[in-house]
Amino acid sequence: MSIVKKIKNLVQEIKRSKQDNLEIRFLIGTLLAKTSRQALSIEDAEFKVFSQFGDDGIIQFLVSKLSINVDKFVEFGVETYEESNTRFLLMNNNWHGLVIDGSKFNIDYIKNDAIYWRYNLTAVKSFITAENINEILEENGFSGKIGILSIDIDGNDYWVWKAMTVSNPAIVIVEYNSLFGPERPITIPYKQDFERISSHYSGLYFGASLGALCDLGKEKGYKFIGCNKAGNNAYFIQNDLCDDLIAISPEEGFIDANFREARNNQGLLTFAKRSEARKEIAGMPVINIRNGLTETL
């Protein structure tokens, strides 16, 4: 057998192995989803199939508990979509959705994945900004009511959610930066082409505090109901959707993340503890969203 043929066979074996793994994970997820729907809180509901942490379980809990009439979702910052908040929802609940990423490679990868023809999914390449988000949603048929909005762009998350006016999601999941703390209502200053690593070598300077996102959620008619156990995603639901899920304060719901993602000047992980990581970005500018003034971390 030629070397070329051996390589082709190996590639096929890898693809089959990967597909088998995905199918096993999905089947386990369908069983976990039945248990998750019986949970009494989002903390008890967590499980992971395709989400980075336990968000698959939280989403299953919420969509079973809330009266959501539109089975549509929008998620941006998905990379190749193999790890995401909405992939299990797409497959298990047969929702349809829009995913957006700034990389052509990532979008091409999604469109060549079997998931793209098996389910009703639209993948769009775009670097999302406060200026273009509404146009993208309208052009792709995701204006008006939608079930879930998931925001994770490691940067202008606060500003993009604030700018969104054409879509009305029942549930909003948005990443917060726990290094910014729970109380201060702060976010990075808006910069249209913001990129996390180029803005600070550590990769820790991005996004907004939980307090800032809770202020914005309240302004838009949402109540904050808690965070995932990992301490990176905050959950908001429309005020009139469910009386059983009570609104809590940022201080009550805040979870300080334990993951260690700080990098040094060479781009290598340092595994710095959170107290050390906070020192890395001390003095960086932030905007206090209540008064519009520039402060420092």
Give the model's confidence band at 75: pLDDT under 50 very low, under 70 low, under 90 confident, else very high.
very high
CA 37 to each of CA 32, 41, 155: distance values in angstroms, whole numbers, following the listed order: 9, 10, 32
Question: Would you state the pLDDT for residue 26?
Answer: 81
Give the Cα separation of 281 and 136 in Å (integer): 33
> What is the CATH number for 25?
3.40.50.150
Helix axis angle for 3-36 and 55-65, nearest 10°, is: 40
- Tens digit of each residue's pLDDT (9 = 90 or more) over 103-147: 999 999 999 999 999 999 999 999 999 999 999 999 999 999 999
- Tens digit of each residue's pLDDT (9 = 90 or more) over 38-61: 898 899 999 999 999 999 999 999
Query: Over 70: is that where the pLDDT of 10 sits?
Result: no
Query: Over 50: is that where the pLDDT of 7 sits?
Result: no
Question: Would you state the pLDDT for residue 14?
Answer: 47
Residues near 139 by beta carbon (within 8 Å), at least 6 away in sequence:
none
Give the Cα separation of 237 and 261 in Å (integer): 29
- Tens digit of each residue's pLDDT (9 = 90 or more) over 267-276: 898 998 888 9
| % of residues, the chain, pLDDT over 70 | 93
Question: Would you state the pLDDT for residue 16?
Answer: 57
Give the Cα separation of 172 and 73 in Å (integer): 10
Question: Would you state the pLDDT for residue 4?
Answer: 45
Residues near 224 by beta carbon (within 8 Å), at least 6 away in sequence:
213, 214, 217, 218, 234, 235, 236, 247, 248, 249, 250, 253
Please state the rounded mean pLDDT for residues 195-213.
95
Mean pLDDT is lowest, of 35-39, 100-104, 189-193, for: 35-39
| 3-state SS, one letter per residue, for 162-194 | HHCCCEEEEEEEEECCHHHCCCCCEECCCCCCC
Query: Over 50: is that where the pLDDT of 158 sits?
Result: yes
- Containing domain of residue 20, as a range? 3-296
Give the model's confidence band at 243: pLDDT under 50 very low, under 70 low, under 90 confident, else very high.
confident
Number of domains comprising the chain = 1
Question: Would you state the pLDDT for residue 159?
Answer: 98
**Positive/negative CA dihedral, 98, 101, 104, 107:** negative
Other C-beta atoms within 10 Å of 167: how many?
18
Please state the rounded mean pLDDT for residues 11-19.
55
- As beta bridge partners, residue 223 has 237
H-assigned helices in 69-156: 87-93, 104-112, 115-118, 133-139
